[in-house]
Amino acid sequence: MPRMSPGETSLKVLSYLSKKNLRDEVTKYRVWKDCEQLSRSTVYDVIGELRAKGLVRRKGAGKAPTGQKKYYFALTLDGLLTAMYLDKRLWSDIDKIASKQVKVLPLVFGKWSVLMGNGAVKGILLPELKTLFGIVWRRLVGPAQEILSEPKESESPPKTISLRRYIYERLITAERFEEEREEARRGFAEAVNNDSELSEFVLQLSKIKAPLYERKASNHRALIDSVETDSPEDFADSPFLKRGERESEYSLFSREAKGAEEDLERDNISEQIRDIFRSEYCPLSEGSVHIIKKEGYWEIPRRASPALFAKVEDGKLNVFGSAKAKLEMLILRLEERVLEKRREGEL
């Protein structure tokens, strides 16, 4: 047999792991035994490289008989996107892969039977999911995590939550069914209406998106009126919402927080404040966070996630954010519910 190139070996390991998860207790040794044509040293080296690139994660599992630390391995979302994009044959096993990869994309794979249970709906969502995986890999994951070469440095590498949000808001949405027949539209509505997490997601997503589309439509109508009446000044004078003016439009949460104002003034944000944001599904970046003092509020930057805005009034910490920040907050909360139900055996 001809020897595999490094890229082919990496892809073989990723494809194998696409049908496994941490519950399958896959060790490096098992990957080597199950993947024919690969030497033991090659498999061990490749898994280390894939983990360094963020394509594979591991979980401690005590010690092996030799006394060395034992680990189980599984794909990250980046790893799954890479495998599915570069090995198109995997899409023929998407049902099995979905059952194994619930943790990496809970609102899709954790709701697979709900979303794909209707043939007309599946005929729309499955090709769209394949398209989205390709878009996300080519634009975001691939350039930073190319498995066929050394990973390229990225000033702002995508975070997993931003990738999941990108997929969710373009797949589980009314926009997918704008031009579809009644059967597909009814099937999608029935599916999400009968599921608590999906119904909450599409409801909140539609509430966020509807005003944005209304503003766009209003802008088009203003131009139509201006052209039809030959009144350029009407369009020029009509209100135009510039980019960034809606950044703190959404209220995210309000919490009693003694000493919050003093904490926000500090160079290093306190663990108390971090715990509050974490418990409200608005986690802050790891390490130091450079809070920017503005007039009457604080801006809290987050790496690869939308910035947050905080005010302290009457002992309460009030936090605001953009539509993207609100969506990510919603996603983290709903994903936790999906995974909790799965652990409890309700799914």
CA distance 336 to 325: 17
Contact call for residues 317 and 279 (beta carbons, < 8 A): no
> What is each CA distance from 313 to 249, 252, 309, in whole angstroms?
17, 15, 13
CA distance 55 to 14: 8
Query: What sign for the dihedral angle of Cα 78, 80, 81, 85?
Result: positive
* Domain ranges (residues) in the chain: 102-133+148-242+323-347, 250-321
Q: Which regions of 212-304 does DSSP assign to beta strands (E)?
A: 250-256, 292-293, 298-302
Encoded tokens for 113: 């039977």
Helix (H, G, I), strand (E, B) or coil at 163: helix
Q: For position 2, what pLDDT does the model report?
A: 44
Torsion angles phi and psi, residue 270, rounded to 5: -75, 160
Picking from 336, 330, 308, the residue whose alpha carbon sits closest to that of residue 202 is 330
- The DSSP string of 90-127 is GGGGHHHHHHH-GGGSHHHHTTHHHHSSSHHHHHHHHH
Picking from 163, 174, 244, 238, the residue whose alpha carbon sits closest to that of residue 209 is 174
Q: Taking the chain, what is the end-to-end CA distance rounded to the nearest angstrom?
A: 44
Q: For position 333, what pLDDT does the model report?
A: 97
Contact call for residues 284 and 269 (beta carbons, < 8 A): yes
CA distance 163 to 157: 11
5-17 pLDDT, tens digit per residue, is: 548 899 999 999 9
112-162 pLDDT, tens digit per residue, is: 999 999 999 999 999 999 999 999 998 877 765 555 555 444 434 447 899
- The pLDDT tens digits along the chain (347 residues) read 344 454 889 999 999 999 999 999 999 999 999 987 788 999 999 999 999 999 999 998 877 777 788 899 999 999 999 999 999 999 999 999 999 999 999 999 999 999 999 999 999 999 999 999 999 998 877 765 555 555 444 434 447 899 999 999 999 998 888 877 889 999 999 999 999 999 999 999 998 888 777 777 777 887 888 888 888 877 777 665 544 344 447 899 999 888 888 888 876 778 888 899 999 999 988 777 788 888 889 999 888 788 999 999 888 999 999 999 999 999 999 999 999 999 887 54
Crossing angle of helices 182-193 and 196-228, in 10° steps, is: 130
Contact call for residues 101 and 185 (beta carbons, < 8 A): no
Contact call for residues 110 and 347 (beta carbons, < 8 A): yes
